[in-house]
Structure 1
Amino acid sequence: MSDKNTTHFGYTEVPVEEKARHVAEVFHSVASKYDLMNDLMSMGIHRLWKRFTLYNSQVRTGAKVLDIAGGTGDLTARFSTMVGERGQVILADINASMLNVGRNRLIDRGLAGNIDYVQANAESLPFPDNSFDCITIAFGLRNVTDKDKALASMFRVLKPGGQLMILEFSKPADWLAPLYDQYSFKVLPKLGQLLTRDAESYRYLAESIRMHPDQETLLSMMENAGFERCQFHNMTAGIVALHRGYKF
């Protein structure tokens, strides 16, 4: 178990102040092939998980949305059309390489007018209190060093009545767990080696998922941060869960 001076980087104990650097190295390594690997790893199902998240976002024309750990911009692209010209979407990511890939991809698609890009740490978001109608973080929370601090930061910048949505790998059903472990620790690193020449980053991915809080634990963490009406919805037998909570 980690003490107050160390934290988990996958299964490895590292000093707290070094985790962000280790995570950054992972995403610098995989940024250019990130979308391709997502499609291969999930067999394309990640697009359905994100579509479900967007459907439940309740985002309307004119809304202001913060997409944390937005990476290559999948959610941001759709939010841009949902909020329209009067709305605003901020794609935020701690990793410069991922942010650049996302910016270039969205500009190439002609989506620029209502999107801003901010390199930011989820633990200390550089925005005023009560700024956003909706905040999303998809497949990013498990990489955050201090998740409680990040949840508190998200609560601060969310408007009263606003919704936080956390899409993240979670704990699968017991019947699926053995097969999922075999896939995660045997197949994923080989895919990573084949496509990015980086097996270690995908070994970290598998380990980081196992170290992430399970569904009920994350729900309690959201409630402790002040969110209300918290709930989660399991997808693909719990491999992924969408957590939702509101600020009132």
Structure 2
Amino acid sequence: MNIQTSKLLLRHQLLEGAKRRISREPYRCFSCSIRHAQHQSQPPKSPQDTPGTTHFGFEKVAEALKEQRVGAVFSSVASSYDTMNDLMSLGIHRLWKDHFVRNLNPGRNPLTSLSASERGWNILDIAGGTGDIAFRMLDHASTINNDAHTRVTVADINPDMLAEGKKRALATPYARSPRLKFVEANAEKLDMIPDSSVDLYTVAFGIRNFTHKDAAIREAYRVLKPGGVFACLEFSKVNNSVFDALYKRWSFGAIPLIGQLVAGDRDSYQYLVESIERFPSQTEFRDMIQEAGFLVPGQGWEDLTGGIAAVHKGVKPI
């Protein structure tokens, strides 16, 4: 075989190989090939356009997965939850919670939903696993209003958060008191709570993690007595553009890093700041409360620290 024949044979083999590759893979221009390679290196696409999806931070996931993933986040952060709250908010979350409880003034007498024969308030604190709000409610009722009968049920879907609350309760006067109870429950389906049995329903920094916020608000309406109050303390939308830019830089730059350094968990705190960003605006959330049937006093909310957080209230009609 001479050199010319060898060249022709080699050319034929190359052409046949190219034909086989072309038959298996469609033609792509150079830039299209780059995009294809990038797509192949990315994780599988979330079911963004299918029914039954919801947000997990900035990611869209199947509704059935969100509860499981949120549960994993809070199980991960439970032991460092209070320390991290202090670091993330520079301690301001304590002032917000104090204001929230003081404004609700638990134990004052009478509450519109209480009959003359009833003593003390029946308070349901949702997503309150560590007991932050519950302990404040009982302290306020006892020391400010001289009320030894108001009681709080702390309901949380996460057993690890409840375990932290029970452990913290040991340092309070309420550890073995009938005035404090811990219950594992899903806020969207409170089967263990009778209709029209609760005087005050509170949820602080928890409702943004619910899969169906509207369902939880409807459950709040069901369990509250006529005249009972729905009260929510939650992160919200900053109302000054310059302050908002600084706040977002702190949230997305510092908080996940603090989570990594203090709690050894960057991903959970990345989710938490994304969940804050995804939460409805003050107006949108007020509308959700009204749509559930509540009467909303005034504009429906009170901004705290320029709108970083807000207090929302609704009253069940008598």
User: Fold match, TM over 0.5?
Assistant: yes
1:50 and 1:2, CA in 2 relative to 1: closer, same or farther beyond 3 A? farther
The answer to whether the 8 Å contact 1:163/1:246 transfers is: yes
Question: For 2:170 and 2:228, how far apart are their aligned partners in 1?
Answer: 28
Pairing 1:141–2:215 present: no
Instruction: Tell me the SS of whatever aligns to 1:28.
Output: helix
Pairing 1:116–2:163 present: no
Q: Aligned to 1:5, which of 48, 52, 67?
A: 52
The answer to whether the 8 Å contact 1:70/1:92 transfers is: yes
Q: What is the number of residues matched between the two proteins?
A: 248
Hey, which of these two has a bigger chunk of strand by percent?
Answer: 1
Question: For 1:85 and 1:59, how far apart are their aligned partners in 2?
Answer: 11
Q: Aligned to 1:204, which of 258, 261, 271?
A: 271
In the TM superposition, what whole-angstrom CA distance separates every residue of 1:28-58 from its partner, at most 9, and x where no partner exists?
A: 0010010000011111100111111101213
In the TM superposition, what whole-angstrom CA distance separates every residue of 1:158-180 from its partner, at most 9, and x where no partner exists?
A: 11111111100001122211111
Compute the TM-score of the two structures, normalised by the length of structure 1: 0.96
The answer to whether the 8 Å contact 1:57/1:163 transfers is: no
Partner of 1:27: 74
Q: Aligned to 1:193, which of 260, 276, 279?
A: 260
Question: For 1:167 and 1:55, how far apart are their aligned partners in 2?
Answer: 13
Ranked by relative contact order (alpha carbons within 8 Å, sequence separation 6 or more), the top structure is 1
Partner of 2:281: 214
The answer to whether the 8 Å contact 2:98/2:136 transfers is: no
In the TM superposition, what whole-angstrom CA distance separates every residue of 1:17-36 from its partner, at most 9, and x where no partner exists?
A: 11011000000001001000
Q: Aligned to 1:165, which of 231, 251, 258?
A: 231
The answer to whether the 8 Å contact 1:2/1:8 transfers is: no
Whichever residue aligns with residue 234 of structure 1, its letter is D
Q: Aligned to 2:63, which of 16, 31, 35?
A: 16
What are structure 1's unaligned runs of at least 5 residues?
none
What are structure 2's unaligned runs of at least 5 residues?
1-47, 109-119
Partner of 2:194: 128
1:193 and 1:130, CA in 2 relative to 1: closer, same or farther beyond 3 A? same
Partner of 1:102: 165
Runs of 4+ in 1 over 3 A off after TM superposition: 1-4
Q: Aligned to 1:69, which of 107, 123, 127?
A: 127
Question: For 1:182 and 1:87, how far apart are their aligned partners in 2?
Answer: 42
Whichever residue aligns with residue 104 of structure 1, its letter is K
Question: For 2:312 and 2:49, how far apart are their aligned partners in 1?
Answer: 25
Query: Alpha carbon RMSD of aligned pairs, Å?
Result: 1.3
Compute the TM-score of the two structures, normalised by the length of structure 2: 0.76
Instruction: Tell me the SS of whatever aligns to 1:124.
Output: coil
Of 110-119 and 78-87, deviating more is 78-87
Percent identity over the alignment?
Answer: 45
